[in-house]
Structure formats: C-alpha cells, structure tokens
Structure 1
C-alpha cells in the first residue's frame, strides 16, 4: 500500500508529459555524445584496418618546393632531416641517394629500338614496395637490376609507343627484356646488362641498388654528397593534418594526391568535435534539468512524504522507492540512445560498402564503455538529488 500510494503521488506531481520530455531530452543528449564517439572509432578503424589500409600511401616522397628563390639549392639540410625524423607522425626516414654520373640505356633488340640518357636513385630496401631477391649488385654480377615506376610503363604504352610505332609491353614482357646500360667516366664508357626486376607505385624514379650508385659515382669521380634532395617518409597515418602543416611550414612538398585525405580529416574532426561538444553540453543541461525535475517533484510531494514518515515509513525506504521510480527511466533513455547508435552503425556500414569502404557492423567497445559510464553518472546524479531532499 505504501508503494502504491507513493507511486500515485509521484505520478500526479511529476506529470507524464513532463517526465517523457525530460527523458527524451536525455536520450537525445546521450545519442549525440555516443555518435561522436562512434564516428571517431569508425575513423580510426578505417585508418588501421588491413582491408582499408593503403600501404602505398604510408610512404611519402618529400622534397623542397622549388621557386625562383631557391633554384639550384634543392638539397635537404641535415638538421631538417633530423627534425623530420623526430616528428610524432614519423615512423622512419629513408634517404634517396641520387646518381651523380652520366648514364644511358638502350635496347639490344632490333624489334624494340630504344635509347635515352638516364639517371638513377637508390633507397634502403625497407622503403621499396618490390621485394625481389635479385635487387642486389656487385661488380661481378651478370646484370644491373632496375625498378621503374609503373607510370613509366603507362606513358610508354599509351603515348610513346603509339607515336613511335613501337609494340606495347606488359609487365611480364618488360622484365624479360635485357637493356644495355652505359656509365660514363674519365676512363671512358663502361657498359653493363640491365634488367627491370619490378614496377613500383611508391617512388617515381628509376631505382638501382645502393652498391651500383656508389660504384658509378666513384667511377665518374663524383662525390656522393652528404645532403640529398629527396627522402621517403614512412608514416602510419598519411591523412594526419600535422604532416601537411609541417611540410607547408618548412617549404616542403610531396605528392598532393597522397595528402588529400588530410583535408577530409580536418572536416571530419571538426564535425566530430562539434557533435561531441554539442552532445556534452546537452548532456550537462539534461542532467541539470533532470535533477531539478526530481527535486521539484519531491518538493511538491513533501507534505505527503512527511506524513508517511510520521506514520512509520523510514527515509531509507522512501529513497529506495524514489530511485526505482526515476532511475529505470534514465536507463531506458540510455538504452534507446545506444540502440539508435547501433541502427546508425548498421546503416553506415551498408552505405559505405557500396563505396568499397568497410567498417565493423558492431558499435565499438569505446561507445559501450561511454554508455556504461553515463549510466553510472546518472545513478549518482539521481541518488544525490534524492538524498539531498530527503535529508533536508
């Protein structure tokens, strides 16, 4: 009978519409906060997932921005290289060592007449996307292995071959062709056989083993300078806006296509931050309003509560009952918000799959933890609000 009487009093004093409005407002605030957390989790998942990770984009070839003020001074200062290596977004740095000798390459087949002057670069093997046991050299080797950019083959097949009436080539055929590679020095030209052992999408220059670069520079009596003009930056997150900011600050550039996601990330981070801040502000206001709502309801029932205490009901009994009346509704608001986030995540997964972008169909455990923490926070707020009025 006590619980029945109290339930009728609370219902009459709080009002069904006011109670529902307070809980809907709370659910909206929680939903915005959880959505902000889930979007951020999805974004990190996209960056780290092997299904979405672009290994090519993890390596950025960096050089100076050339203009009228620094023409002829394209070398990267050693202090700048050390500064790049110390940046939080840097995993490792590989120096591109250029050839400083004159060289040419030509085909030895009459069916494929080809000749051009050429230059090379070398880079530590860990920065090369082609893993080939043949990519090594010494003066007794039967041929010089060369890695060329994929775009060179595209240029040849779709431009050069058409204009020169030459056959188009597949990667497999290119790797079968033997070229004559000539290095020029003070002791005259010296020729080697050369073969293409791989096609790279990472570095847009002709790569040969470091040993050949060092040999050629020594043969041409050219010093391999300590400074280089280009380097390869390995980073776990090429979309990090800090990379674009650092490059701009130091007058450096890289393939802008590989940094295009940094602009998108700034937009995403801004939207997520606004959503999170809005959800946080709304949650604070919802908690304040809900606390005032509880206090007002108890204040309106105060004469009846005093009467019940006089008749033998303890404050502890009344507090437990009031918590049971208010707190389960708060849990329902959080569950509703969490369910909406689950629906949102499933819909987003289906939408992104159409764009060949894959995310988890389940909400992240970060989102669940935040929801549990909010439930705990609401219990504390509800308990404190009731205790404050029961003791006064």
Structure 2
C-alpha cells in the first residue's frame, strides 16, 4: 500500500511528456556513443584483422625518387637502419642486385627468343611464392627463378599478338627450361633456369639469395655496391605517417598501395568526430535526465515533505526513487544495444559481399561502454535524488 501510494505521487509529478523527453534524449545519446565505439572496433578490424590482411599490399618495395640531378640512387646502411626503427614498419629486407651480365635464350628453335636479364634476391620471408623447388646448392646447374606476373601479362597481351606467337599459361612457362648465360671475369658460364613461381609482390626476376651471393663473388665486374631498393613489411600501407615519412625522405613506392592514405585521413577524422559527437550527446543526455529527476522531485516536493513529516525515512524514499528511475535506464540501454547489434549484423553481411570481413557480433568494448554508462547514470541518479530530497526536507 505504501509503495503504491509513492508510485501514484511520483507518477503524477513526472508527466508523460517529461518522461518521453528524457527517454528520447538518453536513447539518442546512447545510440551515438555505442555506434561510435562499434565503428572504431570495426575500423580497426578492417585495417588490422587477419582476415583482411593483404599479403601483397603489406609489403612495399622502396627506392629513392629519381629526379635526374643525382647519380647516386642507392640506400646507405644508415637509411636502411632508420627505416627499420620506424614504428609503422615491421621488417626491412634488402634487395640484392646482380653485378654481372645475364642473358637468357630459348633451348629450342621452335620458340626462339633471346634477351638480356638482371637478377635480384631477397630473404625468403619477403617472397610471396611457396615452392619446394626454391633452393640452390653450389655445383647445381639449375637456377630456380621467380618472375613477376606482369612479365607474363606483357608477353601474352603485348608481345605475343604483335609477333604472331602463342600465348603462354603459367604452367607452360614453368615447364620450359631456359638457357641462362652468365658473363663475367672473362668467361661465359651456362646454366639452366626454371621458373618455379610468379610474384605479385616484387617486380623483378628473383633467384635464391645464396646463389646470387655466390655468383656475385665469382662473376662480379665491380666492387660490392649498396642496395638501391628494399622491401618493407608494414601493417598498414595506407598509414598517413608512412606516406609522410617516405615523402620527407625522398623515397617512393607503388602508388596504388598507398593511394588510400588521404582517404584514411578523412575516415580517421570522421571516426574521431563520432566519438566527440557521441560523448557530447551523452553529457547532454545526463544533463537532461538529471533535470528530469529534479523536475520530478520538485513537482512532488509538497507530497515528499508530507511523507517525511509522517515518518518516512529519507533513505527509504531515496531507494524507492532510485528503483523507479534505474530500470527505466537499463531498459533504454538494452534497447540501444539491441539496435546496434542488428545494425552490426546487417553491416557484416553487406561488407562480406565486398570481400571485407568484420564480426557479426557487437564488440565487448561496446558492452563495457554500456555498463560504464549505466554506472555513471546510477551515480548521477543517486546524487541528484539525495541532493533534492535534502532540499525537500528543508
């Protein structure tokens, strides 16, 4: 009977319009802040999640910018070490170039060709081709090679049609032995080259690292030179810091892999703005809800004074009023979480069609944010109710 009396008194002071205003303000604020948290989680997952990693884009070949005013386009040991120290670069691998003349020719007159070549090598962990044939031992006459897919495309769609030659598949190229002539130290040594794979990562004819070191020592026509290119591994090739660093140091890489840097800056701004907007709206919502409680208590001040005069404990009133407001807050929080969860599920399905992967479930960061907001609301409610009951007593 006592609780029913209190409910009638409180509800008569609240009014439907005030309750609706408080609910609307709090709901909008919670939706914004939950969405801001979830968008940030999705953003990080799209950038750094394993299912979204691009093994090609995450490796960049770096070299000095060619400006025509400098004849030295090599990278010093200090420059390579400085690259390794950057927080946005995980690893650096040097591309070692051949220091001797290389020519390649067909072993058959049925498919004649002759061309000059150059070899380069890089540590195996920077290569995107996995092959059991990718090995060489001193004394072996067979040189395994990895060539860029671009070379095959240029032949098939440019050279072959112009010369009325057949087009070649990867399997056909890998089955054809190639005569490799190495010229150096006044001699010509013949090897057999075999293509064991095609690379989309490095635009060069790659040979095993140990072969090139051996061949440079035996056939080199000049002193050992510094590398002119390096391969870097980075978590985020579109990182604006990476692009800015390369520009500052006069270094360049494949523009297609870093062209999203400017878009990233825009997206970063939008994501950060969503945090600010959500936090600002939450502060306004807390203010609105605090005013809602104040108006409720102020409108029933006479009745509360009467209840206190009749012997009702202020603490009893405080607990009762808190039970009236907190379930209201919890219901709004759960509804907002449900809305964000439905939007997250829809977004996951949509992005999956674009070959981008995020979790279909809302993040535990979003749930923790909801719990934190409820704690803040409880503190605000408790403080406001206590303060205005004290005022009502006076």
Whether TM exceeds 0.5 here: the answer is yes
Q: Structure 1 CA distance, aligned partners of 2:4 and 2:220?
A: 101
Q: Structure 1 CA distance, aligned partners of 2:5 and 2:249?
A: 74
Give the structure 1 partner of residue 25 of structure 2.
Answer: 25
Distance 1:26 1:188, change over 3 A: same
Q: Could you give the per-residue CA deviations for residues 212-246 of structure 1, whole angstroms, max 9, x where no partner exists?
A: 32233232332222x21111111222232221121
Q: Could you give the per-residue CA deviations for residues 10-56 of structure 1, whole angstroms, max 9, x where no partner exists?
A: 22222211111111111111111111111111122223444332111
Distance 1:179 1:357, change over 3 A: same
Q: Give 1:1-392 correspondences, 5 Å limit.
A: 1-70=1-70, 72-218=71-217, 219-225=219-225, 227-392=226-391
- TM-score, structure 2 length as denominator? 0.94
Judge conservation of contact 1:323–1:383 (CA < 8 Å) in 2. yes
Judge conservation of contact 1:96–1:121 (CA < 8 Å) in 2. yes
Judge conservation of contact 2:104–2:114 (CA < 8 Å) in 1. yes
Q: Structure 2 CA distance, aligned partners of 1:7 and 1:136?
A: 83
Q: Structure 1 CA distance, aligned partners of 2:249 and 2:234?
A: 18
Q: Could you give the per-residue CA deviations for residues 93-150 of structure 1, whole angstroms, max 9, x where no partner exists?
A: 1000111211111111112111111111110011111122322224410311111001
Judge conservation of contact 2:25–2:288 (CA < 8 Å) in 1. no
Q: Structure 1 CA distance, aligned partners of 2:210 and 2:188?
A: 19
Q: Structure 1 CA distance, aligned partners of 2:365 and 2:76?
A: 43
Report the Cα offset of residue 69 of structure 1: 3.2
Q: Structure 2 CA distance, aligned partners of 1:332 and 1:249?
A: 53
Judge conservation of contact 2:99–2:221 (CA < 8 Å) in 1. no
- TM-score, structure 1 length as denominator? 0.95
Q: How many residues get paired?
A: 390
Q: Could you give the per-residue CA deviations for residues 123-182 of structure 1, whole angstroms, max 9, x where no partner exists?
A: 001111112232222441031111100111111111111112222111111111111111
Quote the RMSD (CA, aligned, Å).
Answer: 1.6
Q: Could you give the per-residue CA deviations for residues 159-211 of structure 1, whole angstroms, max 9, x where no partner exists?
A: 11111222211111111111111111232222211111111111011101223
Q: Structure 2 CA distance, aligned partners of 1:187 and 1:69?
A: 34
Q: Structure 1 CA distance, aligned partners of 2:49 and 2:108?
A: 46
3-state SS of paired residue (1:167):
coil
Report the Cα offset of residue 367 of structure 1: 0.9
Any stretches of 5+ residues in structure 1 without a counterpart? Answer: none
Q: Structure 2 CA distance, aligned partners of 1:144 and 1:87?
A: 36
